[in-house]
Structure 1
């Protein structure tokens, strides 16, 4: 992948990721109607984010254009992002870049701008995450560890020992939380002691359920994917649903089989915690890097309390519904296959197979030295090379590969003088060849030519760095790789 092409490819990758997440969001919205219990499932929401991130990466991999089920979009369509074009591609007798310098440069500038915006946005996201981690670390450093007698004396812990992580206590208006990735700790605020012991024990049970369910790993995975997909609106929705699923799943797991009295205590603990959080902002700065109890807006807490009071059992998924969730990454990944391959990508869908090449074609030079391949992206602006370049000294005879009729022979080709002297020949089956940067033209428009006939002398006219022959081929108006029509002649002359 050439450096100059990366911004354009990254722009396409970003668009593909947005589309993939949009498809996933639509599918999950439909699934929520059929399976209300989806709200308490973490897997589909994290898989949706993972699918979007996978699309972002896969589209940028070398050769991903071959996966597309679509042919390359016309170059005029791509250039239309920046400016309208008066002509099409080679079918309008335009060589590589002839009608698109301004439009292609504008599109390249747009791609570079998007790359800069993405880097800035990702950097801001990482910095925000780092600030939250620092705020959380400051809380942990200010907290006092509880062990031995202090643990036994705490009304929320009592005789509980099994499965208990390190416990810290802090005098601050924060929510009880499970913090940390590799070595999670349980952080308890001193104000929690003012609650009835039954409520305290339920709060601790909630945080320990996060630990049992490995929610801290899910949370950090979601945060990492969020940093990659910060520009995708649907990804923010996935993260919110993931957080909601973790809290709701813990609520249901803790309250499973408990009497109504304990459910009321649990709801009261949520309300009490919401009142505490209204007095301080410490938890607001750490909520995304830890798993606090009762964090969320008043509407979220009210929704959780309503679900707690309803005491509905967690719905079980049928095999068919679970299978549909497993198919979600595949459905999102299909966006890679369905992505349009724009002009900066080389797509083989428009090119005929080698078996369709005209028979008996010859090489355009007696001795071939390839200096530029078809489809290479190594130029300013990131546009692909629409032909092949052959190194040739000034004055080398240029030969027509097959019989045909000269349609254009000019010193100033359409699109500007950058292509120098040009000859275009129409062949059978809608095939057209173009020869650029010539030193002399030996034929005129309307002349009939035979295979192997000299039609020009190679040179360095136009915008070039040295003498060579620029050779293009099109079939029914679409540019194709010259190697497909030259076939064995190209291999023999190299």
Structure 2
């Protein structure tokens, strides 16, 4: 799979996974806040801001933006079959065999399968499967999207069937209805709103988004005319506030994030806020008798909704966390709690801050092989018979610990040399070569390994940041990153190791004047301990 496509799919999958707990956290916070400040229940802007925060955090997680150091970067390892040291030799041998004449002998690399077997690590199974996991999730997301879209199409066909059995009311019929005042008739004409009548026992409702239609059931005539007008005014207020459009946008988000069940709680909170806000707008300035009549009409409509539950109609569950009793109590209140403009602004800023925090907590990805153990050797940038002499990785050199010296923090002896370096000091390549590792693990922190040819590589660990990527060819002295104290480090410094054919050796072989750059304390420790510890062979499965 193409590396760029793999990164895109991986970012998409990680953003999808992160959106679920983020939406759950927002839903729980809003419910707790609404219990303390009931005014939040009736403001759709608060719930819309929460949904927008989930979408923003998701979008920032998908975008290839630089991440902070809040969450360590997750690296994408290459396949072990591609990175194995015998793979390139096997390919070359196969090419030579294909072009050789019949019966000619072809030299094969020595024991390539044994080398490959020694380099197999238990995590390689995960490494081989990892490139396909993002594609598998993307396929599952598309399948779920298609399934939920078909379910919505079936619900839409139900409402189309319902509209075919309803009749359009003419202007004269509208003016003759006791449920409509002259002002409401004028408003319907100004909006070019189509009004239909049906004999089904449903509650009055608006159907459609861009050009909604008002559906009035015949049983509405059994209510008091004042109650009828308030109920119709409720639906017209929905139209004036463009509630169908906001609910449709929320429904579209629910379709795209079908896997995110906590987001449905935010959608339910929005629908509840839409209904409560509409109630407040209709009952503003009404006396107590009109409020009681409106509440009684609401209870009557609820009974009809429970008797005939139509599929796909979100308005049938608009009582939400408040419940019928809570909504009726709110209707009867002379001055229901409302948020001030300052409160709405603070709620929006809080949602924006949560979105930025949620995006910052999502990991960044790269195509570097974050192995946690020495990586397989890779072909150098340019084949050479012998490695060139090294230069120092720092501009100002002061060696604080020499190879093989034991200390309380390193009881088995130093595997390299330590240089004094403040956090952020530029770190350079000791020689020309190819970056074969640029990653992070808990022990080494941020580290870089450069292959210089002839089995020689340099390893720089405990960096504060890494400025090169896997596979990049670097020249001697080129900037690799900055020193720091990442991983298991006692403080800011730079640790350099010299590797030759899988062995850690004394870097003084590549830097002859190393002792002359050492501090008196470092030299004294080496003299006290005598000869350094013997060289050790480190296998890939270590």
Q: Which residue of 2 aligns with 1:402?
A: 390
Please point out which of 305, 313, 316 is paired with 1:287: 313
Q: Report the CA distance shift for 1:325/1:97 in structure 2 as closer, same or farther (over 3 A).
A: farther
**Deviation per CA, 1:163-185, whole angstroms, max 9, x where unpaired?**
21221111212221011111111
Please point out which of 263, 278, 282 is paired with 1:250: 278
The question of 1:330 aligning with 2:370 is answered no
Please point out which of 266, 291, 298 is paired with 1:270: 298
Whole-Å Cα distance in 1 between the matches of residues 347 and 319 of structure 2?
A: 30
**Deviation per CA, 1:355-375, whole angstroms, max 9, x where unpaired?**
xxxxxxxxxxxxxxxxxxx74
Map residues 100-179 of structure 1 onto 2, 5 A cutoff: 100-159=123-182, 160-164=184-188, 165-179=193-207
- Give the deviation of 1:251 after TM superposition: 0.9
Q: How many correspondences in the alignment?
A: 385
Bigger relative CO (Cα 8 Å, ≥ 6 apart): 1
User: What's the Cα RMSD here?
Assistant: 4.3
- Give the deviation of 1:71 after TM superposition: 3.0
Whole-Å Cα distance in 2 between the matches of residues 96 and 71 of structure 1?
A: 26
**Aligned 8 A contact 2:19 2:58 in 1:** yes
Whole-Å Cα distance in 2 between the matches of residues 58 and 113 of structure 1?
A: 22
SS at match of 2:168: strand
Map residues 180-259 of structure 1 onto 2, 5 A cutoff: 180-259=208-287
**Deviation per CA, 1:352-395, whole angstroms, max 9, x where unpaired?**
xxxxxxxxxxxxxxxxxxxxxx7499xxxxxxx99986566xx7
Is there any run of 5+ residues in structure 1 with no aligned partner, and where?
77-94, 347-373, 378-384, 408-425, 438-450, 458-470
Map residues 239-388 of structure 1 onto 2, 5 A cutoff: 239-281=267-309, 284-288=310-314, 300-317=323-340, 319=342, 322-341=345-364, 345-346=365-366, 375=368
**Deviation per CA, 1:314-335, whole angstroms, max 9, x where unpaired?**
4342625632433312222221
Q: Report the CA distance shift for 1:482/1:213 in structure 2 as closer, same or farther (over 3 A).
A: closer
The question of 1:455 aligning with 2:454 is answered yes
**Aligned 8 A contact 2:430 2:476 in 1:** no
Whole-Å Cα distance in 1 between the matches of residues 42 and 452 of structure 2?
A: 75
Whole-Å Cα distance in 1 between the matches of residues 287 and 362 of structure 2?
A: 53
Q: Report the CA distance shift for 1:454/1:227 in structure 2 as closer, same or farther (over 3 A).
A: closer
Q: Which residue of 1 aligns with 2:484?
A: none
**Deviation per CA, 1:88-112, whole angstroms, max 9, x where unpaired?**
xxxxxxx999663202234445544
Whole-Å Cα distance in 1 between the matches of residues 320 and 40 of structure 2?
A: 21
Q: Which residue of 1 aligns with 2:73?
A: 72
Q: Report the CA distance shift for 1:482/1:229 in structure 2 as closer, same or farther (over 3 A).
A: closer
SS at match of 1:168: strand
SS at match of 2:185: coil
Whole-Å Cα distance in 2 between the matches of residues 273 and 483 of structure 1?
A: 64
- Give the deviation of 1:206 after TM superposition: 0.4
**Deviation per CA, 1:233-278, whole angstroms, max 9, x where unpaired?**
3211101100000001111111111122211221221122122223
Structure 1 length-normalised TM: 0.66
Whole-Å Cα distance in 2 between the matches of residues 151 and 249 of structure 1?
A: 27
Whole-Å Cα distance in 2 between the matches of residues 452 and 255 of structure 1?
A: 76
Whole-Å Cα distance in 1 between the matches of residues 142 and 200 of structure 2?
A: 36
Structure 2 length-normalised TM: 0.61
- Give the deviation of 1:298 after TM superposition: 12
Q: Which residue of 1 aligns with 2:24?
A: 22
SS at match of 2:67: helix
Q: Report the CA distance shift for 1:180/1:319 in structure 2 as closer, same or farther (over 3 A).
A: same
